[in-house]
Amino acid sequence: MNKDIATPSRTREILQKHGFSFKKSLGQNFLTEPNILKKIVATAEIDEQTNVIEVGPGIGALTEHLARAAHQVLAFEIDDRLIPVLADTLSPYDNIKVVHKDILQVDLKKETEYFDQSGPIKVVANLPYYITTPIMMHILASDLIVDELVVMMQREVADRISAKPGTKAYGSLSIAVQYYMEATTAFIVPKTVFIPQPNVDSAILRLVRRKIPAVEVTNETEFFKLTKAAFILRRKTLWNNLLNSYGKDEATKLWLENSLQQAEIDPKRRGETLSLEEFARLSNALEANKQ
């Protein structure tokens, strides 16, 4: 087996050889702890049938661990300076394709035509923290069915995504993700294992796609609009937030009032106390009562 890229000494050697300097604006914090990489691969339960998508391979620390376990790996890297570095560090592996593109601009369905064998598709990545949420949303909203995501992010964002109703961290992001996926925090990663060190600790979030969405809604777009509206001002009641988003005229008030009553939801509650089921009930009532 090849020497791990992710040891602190090998990482420094690679950076020096290529004269690489970190760009903070691209969220470049490289992992330098092979044991954590092994734990990530184990959490994602990758085997030789699995096709993996990686976001931001950096110098290939995680990529090589994925390549050793998976069938194939497709990695998207935005930084042109890293493309020759990756060609060098990943040269021992023939089951990796590095694509020099911004992940947010990628048509995942099209790019994954690279995979020459059908099998589960999993996203495994140490995400650039400045765009964690847009990346998650881009992947979840894409036409490609991703079976599982095992992704590293700031601990606080992982907490928000996996939060339960009634907690401070619970919000429209929790609902947007949990609608499609079952979310759990797998483990915490201390900031000391990165070069350079980020300001905060990280967490590995595991998201497993539900066979069907968590709740049944008649109009997904309206459901997500409602969940966003309910959290616009966290300290306000559901009623106030709904009026601010949908309008304050008499017809709208009547529509909201009737729908809340039908869904058996007290308008004086705050959005953060409503479960996914309750949001679905309210969204379906709003749809049914639309003029």
The nearer residue to ligand SAM, 35 or 221, going by C-beta atoms, is: 35
- Determine which residue in the list 41, 52, 53, 61 makes contact with ligand SAM, applying CB under 6 A: 61
- Determine which residue in the list 70, 103, 153, 217 makes contact with ligand SAM, applying CB under 6 A: 103
- Distance from CA of residue 102 to its chain's centroid? 16
- Determine which residue in the list 51, 72, 89, 126 makes contact with ligand SAM, applying CB under 6 A: 126
Candidates 52-60, 163-171, 173-181, 275-283; binding stretch for ligand SAM (CB under 6 A): 52-60
What span, in angstroms and rounded, lies between the C-alpha atoms of 74 and 46? 14
Whether residue 196 has a cis bond before it, omega within 30° of 0: yes
What span, in angstroms and rounded, lies between the C-alpha atoms of 50 and 224? 31
- 166 marked ligand binding residue: no
- Determine which residue in the list 14, 30, 53, 265 makes contact with ligand SAM, applying CB under 6 A: 30
Q: How far is the CB of 208 from ligand SAM (least distance, A)?
A: 22
Query: By beta-carbon distance, which residue lies closest to ligand SAM?
Result: 56
- Determine which residue in the list 52, 53, 56, 231 makes contact with ligand SAM, applying CB under 6 A: 56
Q: How far is the CB of 264 from ligand SAM (least distance, A)?
A: 44
Q: Residue 234 phi/psi, 5° resolution?
A: -60, -30
- Distance from CA of residue 74 to its chain's centroid? 17
73-102: contacts with ligand SAM (CB under 6 A): 76-79, 82, 102
- Distance from CA of residue 39 to its chain's centroid? 18
Q: Is 104 within 8 Å of 131 (Cβ atoms)?
A: yes
Number of residues that bind ligand SAM (CB under 6 A): 23
How far CA 81 is from CA of 5, 58, 97, 194, 208, in Å, comes to 17, 10, 16, 20, 33
Q: In this structure, what token pair is assigned to residue 253?
A: 């008030």
- Torsion-angle region of 77 (φ positive above 0: left; ψ -120 to 50: alpha; else: beta): beta
Question: What residue numbers does the annotated binding site for S-adenosyl-L-methionine cover?
Answer: 29, 31, 56, 77, 102, 126
* Site of interaction with ligand SAM (CB under 6 A): 26-31, 55-58, 61-62, 76-79, 82, 102-104, 126, 128, 131
**Residue ranges of the binding site:** 29, 31, 56, 77, 102, 126
